[in-house]
Structure 1
Amino acid sequence: MELAYDSHLLARILLSVATVGYGVVTIKADLNATHATNPLWTPHARFHVVWQVLSYTGVALIALGLIWIKGQLEAERLYLAGGLAAAMYGAFFAAMLSRPIYGGVLYDENGYLPFRPPFGPAGWRW
């Protein structure tokens, strides 16, 4: 049996980790009593969080297909999957950095308990 060499294996693994981050972790973080089924949230806000999570999951499934399904334009598909991840994480960090404009916070008093990340400014709580 001959082992096939995949010159893009490391890229596939790293892109998969990034994709699972926005496509699966959001399910765990948001489809629970602290967000989507939180009775203190307005029904419309709950609708939006479910829509967001399902959209992220759908995009992640497409990205995983681009990453792992064999076919033509292999490198280009990896770049596209990377672009999708950059868009997802870029939007998160843009929302995080623009919180003063719209009055947002990284945690909710009736949701997850905030924690201090091991990096960043002293006032950061997630």
Structure 2
Amino acid sequence: MDHGVDAGGPTGDDGLSSEPIEVAALDGTIVIRLHGEMDIARSETFRLTLRRALTAGTTSRHVVVDLQHLTFCDSAGLHALLDARTQANRLGHELYLAAPREQLVRLLELTGTLPLFAVRPAPPF
């Protein structure tokens, strides 16, 4: 397993830090693992992390956003996931959501966006 970007770190001058966003290559698949909360404060970091992962010259065509450790997602986080789907499709990648928690599944259902994503079990790492 090849670990790449860890996009976590300070979120601002208040001394709080966000949970990391991990990127790894696993059996020819790009895995992006989110932890904690995905809200307006973190959505841009997620977008940038995904962009770097997709344009890093990898030959992988599968991207998994591992959501098993994501405890909350708001509309900004949903927008980031929708942007990720668009970006992955534009670059010829297939994007999957892995192990989303009930709160995120409910958000996807309420907004009518669940059918836009393939949902899979969590990757094995």
Normalised by the length of structure 2, the TM-score is 0.28
Higher Cα Rg: structure 1 or 2?
1
Length-normalised TM-score, structure 1: 0.28
Q: Which has the higher helix share?
A: 1
Q: Larger % of strand: which?
A: 2
